[in-house]
Structure 1
Amino acid sequence: MRWEEDRSSVKGEPDVSFQRRAAQALAVTGAVTLAVSGPAVAAAADSSTWAETSTGAVSVMSVAQPTPSVTWAAGAKVVTPDDGTVAFTPTLYERDLGKGGTWRQLPLAGADAWNSRINDIATNPDGSAFFVGDQGAGDQGVLVGRYAAGSWKLTADRTLPAGTVSGSLLSVSSVSGQDAWAVGQGYTRDTFAQVPVVQHWDGRQWRSVRIPGSDDWGLYQVDEVAPDDVWVAGTDYATGQSLAVHWDGQRWKRTATPAFPDSSVLFDIAARTPSDVWAVGWSRDTDKQRPAGLALHWNGTSWAQVPLPAGTFALQALTLRPRGGLAVVGGNDDAAVGLAWSPAAGWSSLGLPENDPQLPLGVSSVVSSGAHLTVGAWHYVSSDGGDSFASGAVLTR
């Protein structure tokens, strides 16, 4: 599985790619005691059956649930012009159990004018929602969608740090239509050095925010629990180690995460309380090692590594499940990885389907509603020259 989603270049600028992951809110109710040492094993796969819906040329990047009966699946239609480049058209699907439960594509006025993915969606109790995407050519800005009064409006955020090109907002999180955060990265126009991007929505406009000391950081995920409780996760390029940074309404503070001999990264972070935070990604002990799955838990004071079943590879995303549980998804070169965790039973396999050995499954995102799960996915063709996108999919059960 390729852990990067290629992005077509702006004319006159080099090709770039961004690692991305999608996130959904995670809440763990009550006090949870975690075993942080000793071997971990995964129980047999859950007996529930997965249903797969093909999205054709649309690669699904993010899934979200604005209500218990409505699910959104967002990403981009992959377009391959005659010149051999790859372009994207932002695309959004909806499934409403109250209207038959079939997936339908939602209209996005103006989407054809954007060469962008929808990288992440955030929903709010007040019925509002946001999605974020990629930077367009020239002064087009970064694609941002805002949902209000039953419809989506596509807008452009033009407030990225001066001189930023080929930027992407990879994650968005919000508590209402008046307060949202988004993170990602771009490059400087002159030197093509990486630029971390942090954006804040105050109900009227997006503003660029700088986290002190973040010049060499890659930012992949944000989770806003409250206006004075915001987490950002990613990697520190200077050290090769993962990072988790917290905003308390007054200042940003980096919290120490476990260090590994070679490198590590966090792709998803989510929290419900100041003493109940989860993060997932991967780690390596040697340069040539395949990325090993990484799960961390914050107890309000420090991060602890939570053992995963032997052989678990890189993890991309996590979501809340009932009774204090969670689900995580990721993958390796051979198969997608899906695991459920509960305080009582530990880890068990989600039994993600591999229906066609010629078209392996990749997964990007997961969201839970009660006992039901939705996973954003795609199929790809693997060859000696690398992996290439074949078709998108949404998995439900």
Structure 2
Amino acid sequence: MPSRISLSPRRSVRLSLLAALATTLVTGSLVLAGQNGGPSTPTTNTAATAPAPATSRHAGQWQATPVPVEKGDLTAVAALSDTQAWAVGYRLNSATSLKAIALRWDGKTWTQESTLPDNSFPQALAVRSAGDIWTVGSASAHWDGTKWTAYQLDNDPAGHVVPDAVTTTSDGKAWTVGRAMGRSVKDGVPAVQSWDGKAWHRQALPDVGKGELSGITAVAPNDIWAVGAAYAPDENTKQSALLLHFDGKNWRRITAPGPRTTHNWLGAVTALSANDIWAVGGSTTGSTERPFAVHWNGNTWTTATTPDVADGRLRAVGTTATGELWALGGKGAAPVALRWNGQRNQWEETTAPDLVVRSFTTIPHSADLWATGIARNGDLVPTITRLKG
């Protein structure tokens, strides 16, 4: 996100309610949902075959949609269709009180569907169906269509597990990645856990030293990628991007491309197919940050050309049904949006949503996008914007 960069976009809401909000204003927070993680298929962050990336064209305008929360934050968004989308975050009830909430889009308006269990602090979202939704943050919670149920993550000998991203796979499992840490973030090590229908189970990982995972995407139950950062072990080395792959039995580290003269990290990943995977993040020299992106073609990971955008850390990546490949991020109140230009074989800057970006997602069978966060002006004003493709 110095020899150890604060990269995770979701680590903010960990220690206390007010500290969480204060930190998110500085670092931002997002989920891909897919993410993340912005996934190629936002319902699960699982791969879906998509058209070849389209060439860049003039982008449309992002339009804000009213939300039923006057003060707080919206940290993650995911969609099943044009008439079914969910967002999670927090309502600020008082100077010392937050309540985790879930909003639902019905094709016309956003309404509050439910409140989440106490201390769940949702930071990432995976939607398999209207009755099968996972969030993770300081804990994990599952929505069955009627109620949320909190589930404890498995114990980790490295310390308290802080998940940063979540996805689901076609075999019914859920997967979450983040870090396990003892006394401080500096002590963190990458962590992966899987849900088998009854409980979360810690996954054995290769020893990569100190670090963390911030994004995950699944092509299939036996083809899962997780991305993040391996911290610099000393002042004479650089932080490096971290790539881990699961083949159905074991996790192994894959060498990440990128210059060894800069600090590199990855914050999100999405799969268009088994042979077409994108991961995005940032690269920094001194105090200067710029976007960083890598691509998997089925055989090797390679770096992609990105524009020299100030504070251009990327936090989410995903592709629309029409093949438009997008990456969003930014630092604080300086949002950044990039689109892939397939003809020029490079990422190009385009119109960014007018908000502090926490999360963005594509919409299945649509060229549209959703982005969530807080307004760049005002005091913790939750914001959801939509781009009509």
- What pairs up with 1:191-340 in 2 under 5 angstroms? 193-238=187-232, 239-260=238-259, 261-284=261-284, 286-289=285-288, 291-311=289-309, 313-332=312-331, 335-340=334-339
* SS state at 1:90 partner: strand
Q: Quick check: which one's strand share is greater?
A: 1
1:223 and 1:376 map into 2 onto residues whose CA distance is 20
Flag the 1:218–1:188 CA change in 2: closer, same or farther, 3 A.
same
| Paired amino acid for 2:134 | F
1:102 and 1:177 map into 2 onto residues whose CA distance is 33
Instruction: Kindly indicate whether structure 1 or structure 2 has the higher relative contact order, using CA contacts under 8 Å at least 6 residues apart.
Output: 2
For residues 58-88 of structure 1, the C-alpha deviation after alignment (integer angstroms, 9 at most, x for no partner) is 3111110133420111122346646xxxx64
Cα RMSD for the two superposed structures: 3.5
Counterpart contact for 1:28–1:320, Cα < 8 Å: no
1:316 and 1:372 map into 2 onto residues whose CA distance is 18
Flag the 1:177–1:122 CA change in 2: closer, same or farther, 3 A.
farther
TM-score (norm 2): 0.79
Flag the 1:288–1:320 CA change in 2: closer, same or farther, 3 A.
same
Q: 1:392 aligns with which of 374, 377, 382?
A: 382
| Paired amino acid for 1:157 | Q
> What residue is the counterpart of 2:371 in the other structure?
375
Q: CA deviation at 1:191?
A: 11
Q: 1:53 aligns with which of 24, 41, 66?
A: 66
1:375 and 1:334 map into 2 onto residues whose CA distance is 14
TM-score (norm 1): 0.78
| Paired amino acid for 2:229 | T
Flag the 1:79–1:193 CA change in 2: closer, same or farther, 3 A.
farther
> What residue is the counterpart of 2:126 in the other structure?
122
- What pairs up with 1:131-142 in 2 under 5 angstroms? 131-134=135-138, 142=139
Unaligned runs of 5+ in 2: 41-46, 233-237
1:294 and 1:237 map into 2 onto residues whose CA distance is 17
| Paired amino acid for 1:326 | L
For residues 274-332 of structure 1, the C-alpha deviation after alignment (integer angstroms, 9 at most, x for no partner) is 21100010012x2232x101121100111122212342611110122123321111114
Q: 1:102 aligns with which of 109, 114, 118?
A: 109
For residues 4-24 of structure 1, the C-alpha deviation after alignment (integer angstroms, 9 at most, x for no partner) is 56335369xxx9979754113
| Paired amino acid for 2:63 | W
Unaligned runs of 5+ in 1: 35-41, 135-141, 355-360, 382-387
Flag the 1:308–1:163 CA change in 2: closer, same or farther, 3 A.
closer
1:74 and 1:168 map into 2 onto residues whose CA distance is 18
Q: CA deviation at 1:246?
A: 0.6
2:317 and 2:282 map into 1 onto residues whose CA distance is 13
| Same amino acid, percent of matched pairs | 24
Flag the 1:247–1:33 CA change in 2: closer, same or farther, 3 A.
same
| Paired amino acid for 1:95 | W
Counterpart contact for 2:123–2:135, Cα < 8 Å: yes
Q: CA deviation at 1:232?
A: 0.6
2:149 and 2:174 map into 1 onto residues whose CA distance is 16
> What residue is the counterpart of 1:77 in the other structure?
91
Q: Which of the two has higher C-alpha Rg?
A: 1
1:390 and 1:124 map into 2 onto residues whose CA distance is 30
Q: CA deviation at 1:127?
A: 5.3
* SS state at 1:6 partner: coil
* SS state at 2:207 partner: coil
1:269 and 1:191 map into 2 onto residues whose CA distance is 22
| Paired amino acid for 2:280 | V
| Paired amino acid for 1:263 | H
Q: CA deviation at 1:104?
A: 0.4
2:208 and 2:49 map into 1 onto residues whose CA distance is 32
1:190 and 1:344 map into 2 onto residues whose CA distance is 45
| Paired amino acid for 1:156 | Y
Q: CA deviation at 1:118?
A: 0.8
2:56 and 2:333 map into 1 onto residues whose CA distance is 20
